[in-house]
Structure 1
């Protein structure tokens, strides 16, 4: 059976259980909306809204996970293609995302009614298409798979499809490990607290806007991105133990699974005070080798009932916290094939992802590496000083990536 015929068969009755991870994201969206994966593709040329609608419909036939709605404890294919929303992006600051147009990137999804995925076609320079998905239905790899299918349709090519209904539960049963589950969440200090204060009243966005984004483009491609980013935080806080949460794509255990679902689980990398790049990379590689992410299901803070304490605290305070379960979330989304994100008169120049807002870490970082550049995006709470502090934090990471190894201790 071909991939296309499998996709059509799945489309006729596609349904899968809502997994433990996805239940966590459903709960999280109540406190830190929109709980979205957002992949932004910038380039030259353009497609019309009607051309993009046809391509989105075709891609979603092959990837029915883009059309899901919640029915009880299952996700079910609605059969309705995700919408294409045209918007004026001429005033949108694509570095700070605090200008007109950014409100579209904060819109929540409606699990039962739908849609839970959409594409934004932004006017302005550069031309930009944003693929948005509720994280309860897709992970980062899933959104990229769907986006590539859209461009395949724009190029007039046959779909590959992503019809699998497997969840992380199946992967854990097939590839589970004896590695110990993560220990209790420590109280991690925020790296922002170690940065100098900015001028009084410096908000990154208007007061009352709860969250902010920042984007930084670093020249060149870089290895050991997670370890180097974590090392920059450890150097900032040399007397502090740190815990870094690193989402891992568990499709690595069975690359034949073609799915847009949430097949990512977290590694928790605990670094003692004074940790450096080499030590952190060793801890990360050992955790990957031991498949420790497969032991994290049901663990605080992103899955099952473990989310509840964090959500309750966030709902009660909605303010700056002295300590968090994690120092930072670092999601390395890997290399970007720009040819796979081009078609229909649109030629991709770069791609980046706007991170979710989460209550269990002071900041969330996502990293993509198109050819010749590294795209780093950050989300954090919008408080006084945070605009300047977010930029300063990205400065430290850029210095770590482009300079000599950082040593601490």
Structure 2
């Protein structure tokens, strides 16, 4: 392979934060889980991963260099395939999920991998270190793996700008940082058990204003426990601003939505639409350039201090982060004797966020998944929250009371 043609891109400021998150609680990874039935030949799957990863070199990266001068560089090494047995894992919670034998180390790799979990149903779990890919980029790589399984040519990706470089090509205006004053949909921490946990539920049918309804639910729950402001973050894929982009890297910028006590789901949805119409996703946070030259070890110390302060005060940067990956075609994620029946997304695990929800549509249903720090989720609080959310959504759509 010609060294001069190796794929590489400069690390971004945000990606340096994701490196720290991985050091605190590894692996800090996007996880797309595809459930289904059929037979998958291990070698055929390995070959498909190799073909798709050759077309998407962002799946084969390691970090070279230091500080803001560091770059992600293609190793040319195919992400590994691991196999495991489902055992007693139900697929509806993090409890019992087979772990990975590696922590996706950014310096030596791999930073992406695939896990085949055998059972009924079969589950394929696709991991990407969040400092190398976002959720949409991971989905692109995964879709190309299934293309290869079906004998089709992968679409591939060759975009080599990070999100800061891309956004700066449109807009260099910055927005002020969000104050850490937001209340959250649970009471204060119980104990100090480290780590995160998640729960998954499936709802069937069509749900209008889904993010608006979830945001209103989060706000109502938060105000049961404290008085204060509620702000939800909505990750936005900025690829929407350039239709020809083929990219696996981090091209997601958050917009912030304040949810006042009197807001309805329709008003929240209108607020989201208004921010998108104003291209607020093309505004990065106002941070001094000096932060690019602070060693990760010092940044980690500061982040851990802030994280502990959030637990102590009950006030956070966000009340919740709500990520809607939209509808994903089951046909696109089938192939090689495997037929997908559902797809869900497990967000990167961090105690910095008190409540991280992902929603993914496939077939006639929507998968909802909530991830929370264990000390906020324990004593069945996360189970109560997600079950109450499902009841709220089903009643809201059935009666129109909350529209």
TM-score, length of structure 2 as denominator length: 0.88
More deviation, 312-321/289-298: 312-321
Q: Identify which of 307, 329, 334 aligns with 1:342.
A: 334
Change (3 A) 1:400 1:309: farther
Structure 2 residue 243 is matched with structure 1 residue 255:
yes
Name the counterpart of 1:3: none
After TM superposition, the runs of 4+ consecutive aligned structure 1 residues lying more than 3 A away are 8-12, 237-240, 297-300, 303-310, 314-321, 405-408
Partner of 1:50: 43
Per the alignment, residue 27 of structure 2 pairs with: 34
Change in CA separation of 1:280 and 1:384 when aligned onto 2, cut-off 3 Å? closer
Identify the residue that residue 130 of structure 2 maps to in structure 1.
Answer: 135
Distance 1:116 1:384 in 2: 29
What is the match of residue 221 of structure 1?
A: 206
Does residue 386 of the first structure (1) align with residue 374 of the second (2)? no
174 and 315 in structure 1: CA distance in 2 versus 1, 3 angstrom threshold:
closer
In the alignment, which residue of structure 1 is the partner of 2:197?
212
> Per the alignment, in what secondary structure is the counterpart of residue 358 of structure 1?
coil
Cα distance, 1:82–1:318 mapped onto 2, change above 3 Å: farther
Conserved? CA contact 1:182–1:295, under 8 Å: no
Q: Note if contact 1:276-1:406 (Cα within 8 Å) is conserved in structure 2.
A: no
Contact 1:267–1:296 under 8 Å retained in 2: no
Unmatched 5+ residue regions in structure 1? 1-7
The answer to whether 1:16 aligns with 2:9 is yes
Q: State the Cα distance separating 1:287 from its structure 2 match.
A: 0.9
| Number of aligned positions between the proteins | 387
Residues 22 and 136 in structure 1, CA contact (< 8 A), matched pair in contact too: yes
Match of 2:111 in 1: 116
| Alpha-carbon distance between aligned partners in 2 of 1:374 and 1:10, rounded to the nearest angstrom | 44
Alignment of 1:76-95 (within 5 A): 76-95=73-92
List aligned pairs for 1:182-221, cutoff 5 A.
182-193=176-187, 210-221=195-206
Q: CA deviation at 1:177?
A: 6.9
Task: Give the aligned CA root-mean-square deviation in angstroms.
Answer: 2.9
Q: Is the 8 A contact 2:114 2:127 kept in 1?
A: yes
How far residue 282 of structure 1 moved from its aligned partner, in angstroms, is: 1.9
Q: Following the alignment from structure 1 to structure 2, what is the Cα–Cα distance between the partners of residues 20 and 373?
A: 36
Structure 2: gaps (5+ residues): none
- 8 A Cα contact 1:164 1:257, kept in partner: yes
- Partner Cα distance (1:406, 1:155) in 2: 45
Q: Which of 374, 378, 388 is matched with 2:366 structurally?
A: 374
1:268 matched to 2:248? The reply is no
Q: TM-score, normalised by structure 1?
A: 0.86
Match of residue 156 from structure 1: 151
Please report how far the alpha carbon of residue 49 of structure 1 lies from its aligned counterpart in structure 2 after TM superposition.
Answer: 1.7
